Structure 1
């Protein structure tokens, strides 16, 4: 007996498969459920805002300062002028940092941090003098960036004096006093540790003529602030090779010189 034809088999498969089934639809939450969720989220948000801004729980009650050396913590706290009693989250830390640097130039950097739940911390880094310039019987401190930031009545120990012996010239008009001071600072920062301890004066006559006066009536012709590392290595070797010398010239580090008197 013959089997079903190809046409019959195709028709049977079509009948067995039936009409296409509609895709399953995701069940959406009921409108009432959505309203309840939105109300809850709104209440939570309003409660959070009230906790941070309206309640008495998270307000500034104390301000502390740390990291001071010459300044006192009380000076820093007073200059910061943090609004005690205000919400801790509303304190503008950037404004306080700018205010401190403006009122207290001795501060190089400051980090204002919130100390939850009631504190503000002022972490201060003071400038350190690398040179001191005499002016009117007092002394102006100069830091490693060339910033003249404070005037004191007594020179700090161990800090070399800066002498600007610059005549009005095209070089002074070109570089300016500020640039020459920064070059002197650059030289002071390049000195070998042993030489730095013995340096009494850094004298600037021009951009290319910077010299040192050391203890024991010794002098060093340094030249410009360029090639500081090479000059430092050369000076160290020169002093070891000629320990009795009193005058050293490393302005050209590849052709140094020394003299006994």
Structure 2
């Protein structure tokens, strides 16, 4: 009988010896773990020192944008940003609240960090849509009915608001029911709904009651608007009525489906 070949003997030897033993993964030495932990602590401490303890990331400048009536200096003074403090520690929410409290003319303000050493204040001022005479001054009212500032000179092109409740029982009841603030907001809604061409000529918005609001134009013409409801329909009706009766002196769109004009 012929002997086994060399290849067969090698195969039997490999089968008998089994697979090669797996290599053992040694766990990291304690010394290595300690070194890594110390490095992480030092790195974290260094980062904290850079943010809070160094002079590299401290507030050195405060920039202001978006002002129209206010000056950048007024905004900086009211913001009272802690110049010299670490930039990361500045309370931006507190600055925003402080600005709105001290400067009611500001409607929206965005307070942001400008790395490495700045704070940016981007403000949006309220826009007056009506003014209320108060003694020798004027109180500005914005599109939400907020009375936000008192000025000595009336802003150009802004109609005056007159709250003149009539002596009728219904007008008195309207004032008690809705209150002055609500009536101011209703006047604002009317001013916002008036057609652009008419708005440019509007000098006074008179409020006698919730549903008795009228306009006085620059050339003496008048408009009975009624309540602020159905403002878009009343605006379209008024534009058409003025076009159809160019010589009229008085217009009534309080009921937009039954408008009227009079005078010549």
When normalised by structure 2's length, the TM-score is: 0.87
Q: Deviations over 1:38-69 (max 9, x none)?
A: 22221111111100000000001111211111
Whether 1:214 and 2:217 are equivalent positions in the alignment is yes
The gaps in structure 2 that reach 5 residues or longer are: 1-14
**5 Å matches for 1:27-106?**
28-106=27-105
Q: Distance in 2 between matches of 1:255 and 1:72?
A: 50
Q: Distance in 2 between matches of 1:111 and 1:53?
A: 24
The gaps in structure 1 that reach 5 residues or longer are: 1-15
Q: Distance in 2 between matches of 1:222 and 1:18?
A: 105
Corresponding residue for 2:136? 137
Q: Distance in 1 between matches of 2:175 and 2:102?
A: 31
**5 Å matches for 1:245-260?**
245-260=248-263
Q: Distance in 2 between matches of 1:78 and 1:60?
A: 15
Calculate the aligned-residue CA RMSD, in Å: 2.2
Q: Deviations over 1:63-86 (max 9, x none)?
A: 121111111111111111111100
Shift of residue 164, structure 1, vs aligned partner: 0.1
SS in 2 for 1:125: strand
**5 Å matches for 1:152-163?**
152-163=151-162
Q: Deviations over 1:208-227 (max 9, x none)?
A: 11110012211111111111
Q: Distance in 2 between matches of 1:24 and 1:107?
A: 71
Shift of residue 17, structure 1, vs aligned partner: 11
Q: Distance in 1 between matches of 2:160 and 2:107?
A: 21
Corresponding residue for 2:190? 187
Moved more, 244-253 or 179-188: 244-253
Shift of residue 154, structure 1, vs aligned partner: 1.2
> CA 1:40–1:257 in 2, change beyond 3 Å: closer, same or farther?
same
**May I ask how many residue pairs the two structures share in their alignment?**
246
Corresponding residue for 1:201? 204
Q: Distance in 2 between matches of 1:220 and 1:158?
A: 18
Q: Distance in 2 between matches of 1:17 and 1:258?
A: 116
SS in 2 for 1:144: coil
Q: Distance in 2 between matches of 1:255 and 1:113?
A: 54
> CA 1:253–1:23 in 2, change beyond 3 Å: closer, same or farther?
farther
> CA 1:198–1:24 in 2, change beyond 3 Å: closer, same or farther?
farther
> CA 1:243–1:27 in 2, change beyond 3 Å: closer, same or farther?
farther
When normalised by structure 1's length, the TM-score is: 0.88
Q: Distance in 2 between matches of 1:255 and 1:46?
A: 78
Q: Deviations over 1:93-123 (max 9, x none)?
A: 1100110111111111111111111111111
